[in-house]
Amino acid sequence: MKTKNELRARIKEEKKKYSPEDLQKMADKICESIETSQDFFFAKNVMAFWNLPDEPNLRPLLNKYAGKKNIFLPIIEDGEIRIARFVDEANMEVGAFNISEPSKDLKVSQMTAIDLVLVPGVAFDKNGNRLGRGKGYYDHFLTGRRVEKVGVCFPFQVVEEIPTEPFDIVMDKIIFD
């Protein structure tokens, strides 16, 4: 089994094989799979993510449902994930690590009852194990929360096995196409 850093490097190299157009076509299929899933259909409060350049672009889905569901995005504050309401792209600003986040005035002061969390990752395995970027933000945020956790990635990010630690949070499902 590869180490976490070896796996991160392998996935990074794998992504280079795809054009931005190819990645967007895959992301469009992923958005369609999310949109047609029962978990998404029944969820009123959805936490998603604003993609980094190497993650599936969920923006079309987020924009489409911003007025129909309560969509929340993570913001990093004091070294932890907090959530803020996604209203539209005009209310996004650059936050921690140069990641776009909803403006701080949209931050939710108390944790809303989230029905579904769409979780990005560097890689996932068929058992729902997730390899993140190494900071543990999502593991810490999801610890102890009873919520449907769905990993979201490109097909080439699904691997046979991911090395795990006791604190790693396992996904309930993975959507990759």
d(CA 173, CA 156): 16
Domain total in the chain = 1
Question: Does the predicted model carry a pTM greater than 0.85?
Answer: yes
Which token pair is 21? 């157009």
Burial 38-75 (b: 16+ CB within 10 A, else e): ebbeebebbbbbbbeeebbbbbebbeebbeebbbbbbb
Residue, of 89 and 58, whose pLDDT is higher: 58
> Residue 14 pLDDT > 70, yes or no?
yes
* Percent of all residues in the chain with a pLDDT value above 70, rounded to a whole number: 95
Handedness of CA 127, 133, 136, 137 (dihedral sign): negative
Distances (CA, A) of 162 to 23, 51, 56, 58: 23, 22, 20, 24
Residue bearing the bigger pLDDT, 165 or 93: 165
Using pLDDT thresholds of 50, 70 and 90, give the confidence band for residue 46. very high
Q: How many CB atoms lie within 10 A of CB 127?
A: 12
Residue 80's domain comprises: 4-175
Q: What whole-number distance in Å separates Cα of residue 51 and Cα of residue 122?
A: 12
Residue whose token pair is 């969509």: 71
Say which CATH number the domain at 107 has.
3.40.50.10420
Residue 91 or residue 131, greater confidence? 131
